[in-house]
Amino acid sequence: MKLACVKVGDMERTGIVRGNQIVFFPVSSGDMVDLIKLGLGKLSELEAASNETLPIEGAHFLPPIRRFRRDVLCTGWNYWDHFEEGIGKRDGQEVERPIAPTFFNKAPNALIGAREDIAFDLRISQKWDYEGEIAIIIGKEGRSIPSDRAVDHVFGYALANDVSQRDLQRRHGGQWFKGKSIDRSTPLGPYLVTADEIDLPSVRLETFVNGEKRQDAYAKQMAFNVGQLIAELSFGMTLYPGDVILTGTPSGIGMARDPQVFLKNGDEIVVRGTGLGELRNRVVETDLYGNSDVALA
């Protein structure tokens, strides 16, 4: 199933994608987190009982997950070629190759839909960068989940673009939260594709900036696979239905290019993944600075 959350007038509606239509679930069925808890069988029943539809063309896609009980969970350096390309370019914050996944978090307010504009303000950061990724959506609660049972806890997958502010990433003591959490900067979607439809290792992940391919990798190249990520992340910590986990980006980021190339106003970023659809977002100048008196060095 491909599940979507779209804006219709002043309402947010969830539905299932069938051909060129979205078949809406009843409003009474709740949001996407509620639907995940119901399970695939119940969703099929809800679809069969519905006669409300909307054409996909022109639909206003929102991030498929809209209700969070915690921050978005993220993975860094999960493709070794990406780890290697950054050596010597981390502004002195160098580390050894990790022996376990590197986790960080991102504020939910950073998320936007698959066609929405990425907010951009050079007073907030001078170094805006793209990171095409695959996101895991958890479907079943669990703590200390064994890696060989991790897939039982995955409801589905989506695409993400972990747009990062590299100077903020370095400014705050080497932790990444601030440089990953700027409002309206992280596309997620366009759909939540259920796990039964995706052969994850064979998913090809590609990122384009203004039509130029910048990233190209297969999910099987991940340093730590989905089972390992979930086992490590859930180690002593409960994961819940609706939790979103970004799985890391492959090589090709702007910071690692020579010379470095960062995003600018008007750039269009496209992220594609086999079976997962496409994100297509434009970078648009926005007042994020407001009345702040913070001055970047």
Domains of the chain by range and CATH? 2-62 (no CATH), 72-285 (3.90.850.10)
pLDDT of 91 > 90? The answer is no
At residue 89, the pLDDT reads 87
pLDDT one-digit tens code per residue, 177-200: 999 999 999 999 999 999 999 999
Other beta carbons within 10 angstroms of residue 19's beta carbon come to 9
Q: How far apart are CA 151 and CA 55, in angstroms?
A: 32
Mean pLDDT of 244-253: 98
At residue 126, the pLDDT reads 96
Mean pLDDT of 215-220: 98
Percentage above 70 pLDDT, the chain: 100
At residue 244, the pLDDT reads 98
Taking the chain, what is the end-to-end CA distance rounded to the nearest angstrom? 48
Mean pLDDT of 192-219: 98
Mean pLDDT of 114-127: 97
At residue 173, the pLDDT reads 82
Q: How high does pLDDT run on average in the chain?
A: 96
Q: How far apart are CA 276 and CA 169, in angstroms?
A: 29
pLDDT of 225 > 90? The answer is yes
At residue 64, the pLDDT reads 98
In the Cβ-directed half-sphere of 237, how many Cα atoms lie within 13 Å? 11
Mean pLDDT of 112-133: 98
pLDDT of 297 > 80? The answer is no
Residue ranges in the chain assigned as alpha helix (H): 32-38, 40-48, 80-85, 166-171, 226-233
Mean pLDDT of 278-287: 98
Mean pLDDT of 238-242: 98
Q: pLDDT confidence of 49, banded at 50, 70, 90?
A: confident
At residue 27, the pLDDT reads 93
Mean pLDDT of 26-49: 93
pLDDT of 261 > 90? The answer is yes
Mean pLDDT of 237-258: 98
pLDDT of 265 > 90? The answer is yes
Q: pLDDT confidence of 93, banded at 50, 70, 90?
A: confident
Q: How far apart are CA 59 and CA 173, in angstroms?
A: 41
Q: pLDDT confidence of 94, banded at 50, 70, 90?
A: confident
At residue 50, the pLDDT reads 86
Mean pLDDT of 69-96: 92
Q: pLDDT confidence of 271, banded at 50, 70, 90?
A: very high
